[in-house]
Amino acid sequence: MDDFILSFDTHSEQFQEVQLPKYREYHQRQEDPYLVVYKGCLAFFVAPGSWCYWTTIWSVWVMNEFGVVESWVKKFNGETDEKAKWPIGVTKNNEIIIYTDESMIAYNFETKMSRDLIYDSSVDSSWLNYTGSLVFLDEKNELVENASSSV
């Protein structure tokens, strides 16, 4: 069975499956995959391992055209000194923030350098990535070009 993302089209009110890349062909061990947004595109962070075994090597796949399976591209391979557990998000400065065994790091895709980020690990923390997509629909289910009204 292929892995997929279940999406919902608000215009057609239909669910659809978006196939994930064939990332399992590249890794021997079980992977812990995570969705992130990279430069406005759907991206997929793959860290070979599982909850009991993380690795310092990981990759990022990017879907260049949403819904087109063939547009998945393995964009980056990364390696960090610490074992990557999961990504927190990608910054506008082309860095991916990764939660590791010991800390959080910012890894720059261009320079392939990482830097430690300071945070208080004694406090319980949760991170949530949010990409807003507020679409106003008129009565005919068409996109309203200008949502503001004049009085």
CA distance 7 to 141: 18
CA distance 9 to 16: 8
| Stated pTM of the model | 0.68
Highest mean pLDDT among 77-81, 99-103, 105-109: 105-109
How long is the chain?
151
Q: What is the pLDDT of residue 146?
A: 47
* Model pLDDT for residues 48-66, shown as the tens digit of each residue: 665 555 667 788 889 998 8
